Amino acid sequence: MAEDLNPFRIAQEELDSAAEAMGLDKTAHAILREPKRTVVVNIPVKMRDGSVKVFNGFRVLYNDARGPGKGGIRYHPLENLDTVKALSAWMTWKTSLANIPFGGAKGGVICNPKEMNSYELENLSRGYVRALWNSIGPKIDVPAPDVYTNPQIMAWMMDEYNAIAGHGEPAFITGKPVEIGGSEGRFDSTAMGGMYVLRESAKKIKLDLKGSDVVIQGFGNAGMFAFEIANKLAGAKVVGISDSEGGIYDQDGIDYNKLLAAKKSTGKVQGYDKGEKVSNEELLELDADVIIPAAIENQITAANADKIKAKIVLELANGPVTPEADRILFERGVLDVPDFLVNSGGVIVSYFEWAQDREGYFWTEEEVYKRLDAIVTRSFNDVMATQEKYTESGKKITPRTAAYIVAVGRVAAAMKLRGWY
Ligand code: NAD
C-alpha cells in the first residue's frame, strides 16, 4: 500500500505513537489530534495594473494551553490547509520541548510571491492582517517569517496591526528588522541552536568535535551558517557539502570563503575547484563523523539508512529522516537527533524578540546566544533523560519518541491544570 504522505495525517500518526508509548489520557489525545481553531479568509488585493485579485489565506491556532500561539506565515502557490494544520501541530511540540511560554500556530496564503512586485506584496501583507487582526496578536497568536516571507513583510504587517490597534505593538510579530524591534542574533539562530545541540550530542557519545569530519547537505540559510559555525566554534572540519545540483568532497576540509566565492560566481557548490564531485545520495553515505541534513525532507529513508556511516545525524532541516529510517539508525547505534530539537533556535530567538519588545529593553548578541545555549542544552538533556528513563523501565525508544513524550506531556499537563479534561 502506498504511504500516506498527507502531512496532517503524518502529524496525527506521530502523535498517536507518542500517545501510545507514554500512555496518554484518551481525552487529552483526542483534543491534541485536531487544531483548536482554524480561520480561513479571502483577501482582496489591489494589483499594480489596477485590477483586484482575491487571495485565499489561513491561520491555524493548534493549541494555546501553554501560552499564545507561535508560528510563521508562508506565501506559496501550493499552500493548503492540511500542510498549515500539520505545521501548526509541529510548532506546538517545538515550543513545548523548548519549554518557552507559547503554544503552536501557522499561517499561509496561496500566492506566487515570485510573480508579485513589492507594491502587491505589501498590499497582500496588510490585507492579511486586516482580515485576521482579531485572531492574532501579542497575547493571542504571534506570527513570524517562513517560506517566502521575510523581515520586510513582518515590518508591513506590524505597521498595519499598529494602525488598527491605535498604538505601537512590536510584540505582535517576530522576525522584524532590528531597527523596529527585531532581536540581535536572529539570522543565524537556527544554525547556532543546532551547533549547541551538536556539541551536547558529541559529548554524549564521547566524540571530540575538534578535527572531526562533518558533512552538510544544503548550502542555504541553515546549511551556510552551520558550516561557518561548525568551523569557527566547534573546530570541526567540513569535508562534504551540497546544494540541489550536487556536492563536493574533500578529505582535507573545504575552505568556507572559497566555497562561498565559488557558489556566488558559478551559482553552485560544485563550482568549488578542489576535491571531488559527488551526488547528493553519495554525500550522505560519506565516511564522516557527523552528517547534517540541512536541505529538504525525506533524505534518509529505509533505502539508505543502513549505508549511513556517521555516528551522529543532526536534523537541521525539517523532516529529513523518515520514521522507518529513524528506527534503522537507532538499531544501528547512530545518534539521530530530531529536527524539532535541532532547529528550535529560530523560534527560541523569536521568543526573545517578543520578550524584549514587551519589556522595551534590548539584549546584546552575546546575551542572546548565551540564553539560547542554555535553553537548547536544557531541551537536549530533557530528551536524553526521558530516553534513559524509558530504557531503564525496559522500553526502548528513539530520541524522537522521547522528544515527543516530553513535548506532548507538557501540553497535556497544561490542559489538565486548566481543566480542559
Ligand atoms: P534555503 O532555501 O535557504 O536552502 C536550502 C538548500 O538546500 C539550498 O542550498 C538548496 O540548493 C538545497 N537543496 C534543495 N534541494 C536539495 C536536494 N534535493 N539535495 C540537496 N540539497 C538540496 O532553506 P533553509 O532556510 O536553509 O532551510 C533548510 C531546511 O532547514 C528546511 O527544511 C527548513 O524547513 C529548515 N529550517 C530552516 C530554518 C531557518 O531559520 N532557515 C528554521 C527551521 C528549519
Identify which of 133, 131, 148, 145 has the alpha carbon closest to the alpha carbon of residue 56.
131
Are 408 and 401 spatial neighbours (Cβ–Cβ below 8 Å)?
A: no
Catalytic position from the list 70, 94, 106, 237: 106
C-alpha dist (Å) from residue 354 to 101, 121, 156, 196, 237: 11, 24, 17, 22, 36
> Average pLDDT for residues 259-287, to the nearest whole number?
96
Q: What is the pLDDT of residue 236?
A: 95
Identify which of 16, 55, 21 has the alpha carbon closest to the alpha carbon of residue 34.
16
176 is catalytic: no
Q: What is the pLDDT of residue 1?
A: 46
Q: CA 290 to CA 309: how far, in whole Å? A: 9
CA 351 to chain centre: 14
C-alpha cell recorded at residue 306:
543502513
Helix, coil or strand: residue 49? coil
6 CB near ligand 1 (under 6 Å): no
Claim: this prediction has a pTM higher than 0.85: yes
Confidence of residue 364 (pLDDT cuts 50, 70, 90): very high
C-alpha cell recorded at residue 116:
508579485
CA atoms within a 13 Å half-sphere pointing along the CA-CB vector of 163: 10
**Closest-lying ligand 1 atom to the alpha carbon of residue 224:** 26
Confidence of residue 24 (pLDDT cuts 50, 70, 90): very high
- What domains does the chain contain, in order, with CATH numbers? 38-169 (3.40.50.10860), 189-342 (3.40.50.720)
283 CB near ligand 1 (under 6 Å): no
Confidence of residue 297 (pLDDT cuts 50, 70, 90): confident
Beta strands in 250-324 (DSSP E): 276-278, 290-293, 312-314
223 CB near ligand 1 (under 6 Å): yes
162 CB near ligand 1 (under 6 Å): no
**Closest-lying ligand 1 atom to the alpha carbon of residue 320:** 32
Q: What is the pLDDT of residue 10?
A: 84
Q: Return the best residue to mutate from 97, 244, 249 for the ligand 1 pocket (most ligand atoms within 8 A of CB).
A: 244
pLDDT for residue 185 is more than 70: yes
pLDDT tens-digit map of 53-106: 999 999 999 999 999 999 999 999 999 999 999 999 999 999 999 999 999 999
> What secondary structure letter does DSSP report for 393?
T
pLDDT tens-digit map of 226-259: 999 999 888 899 999 999 999 999 999 999 999 9
> Average pLDDT for residues 177-193, to the nearest whole number?
96
Q: CA 67 to CA 70: how far, in whole Å? A: 9
Confidence of residue 5 (pLDDT cuts 50, 70, 90): low
Q: How high does pLDDT run on average in the chain?
A: 96
Enumerate helices (H) and strands (E) in the chain, giving the number of each.
14, 12
pLDDT over 90, % of the chain = 93
pLDDT tens-digit map of 132-172: 999 999 999 999 999 999 999 999 999 999 999 999 999 99
CA atoms within a 13 Å half-sphere pointing along the CA-CB vector of 316: 32
Backbone φ, ψ for residue 226 (5° rounding): -60, -40
pLDDT for residue 262 is more than 90: yes
Q: CA 400 to CA 377: how far, in whole Å? A: 16
Q: Return the best residue to mutate from 70, 318, 372 for the ligand 1 pocket (most ligand atoms within 8 A of CB).
A: 318
Q: What is the pLDDT of residue 6?
A: 81
Q: What is the pLDDT of residue 208?
A: 96
> Average pLDDT for residues 213-223, to the nearest whole number?
95
| Cα of 358 from ligand 1 centre, angstroms | 31
Q: Residue with the nearest Cα to atom 23 of ligand 1? A: 220
Q: How much is the CA Rg of the chain, to the nearest whole Å?
A: 21
Q: What is the pLDDT of residue 417?
A: 98
pLDDT for residue 315 is more than 90: yes
304 CB near ligand 1 (under 6 Å): no
Q: CA 369 to CA 375: how far, in whole Å? A: 10
